[in-house]
Amino acid sequence: MITFGRFDKGFKVRSPVGNGLKPFLTGFRSFRTKCQFSELRTHHSELFVSKRGMTMIEVIMVMMIIGILAAVVIPKLGLPTATSTASVDGAAYMIASDIRYAQEFAMANRASKTVTFTSGSSTYTFSPTSTLDPSGRLPSGVTTRDNYTITFNSLGEPIVGGDGSVRVWDGVRTKTISVLNYTGKVNIS
């Protein structure tokens, strides 16, 4: 026993480190070596362990198999593919944008601007021509189905071809681009 001198009341004080804690420390060491930490579980640890589940590898393998089957089966069904859908939609948006360009060009330059479409063609033309004009070329496999000419005046109004439309198609799908009279608003349907 370790003592620290006398205090004014005459008590002797034991040190907390000494032989008093030795049985406790040796018991803890033996408990620590006998019991593995993997055996120490709380009731909460069972919530995160599933007996029924799939590993990430299994999920990835299933997704790969589904993807391969979809890539092989969908073209055989004759459904429209994303490529054909994108090309018709893209052509419709491109034509609408080019018609709007012709309208804005006419207003900016205070002159008329014309866009001409020919049925069965994959190109369309602007007149009068300018170096800033778009290419007027549709994506591969997409053509127009109508002869259509629209001319905008310097105010941006359609003076020829208002309330008209042009259709684009790829042999399966068709999109219609129409121009409203007086306002020149372009719609796609």
CATH number, domain containing residue 96: 3.55.40.10
What's the structural domain count of the chain? 1
pLDDT at position 81 is 55
Q: Domain range holding 125?
A: 84-188
Kindly state whether residue 40 falls inside one of the protein's structural domains.
no
The residues pairing with 14 across neighbouring beta strands, listed in sequence order, are 3
**161: nearest Cα among 152, 170, 174:** 152
Supply the Cα-derived Rg of the chain in whole angstroms: 41
Q: What letter would DSSP give residue 142?
A: -
Kindly state whether residue 147 falls inside one of the protein's structural domains.
yes
**Cα 66 off chain centre by:** 20
pLDDT tens, position by position, 63-97: 999 999 888 887 677 655 555 567 888 889 999 99
Kindly state whether residue 20 falls inside one of the protein's structural domains.
no
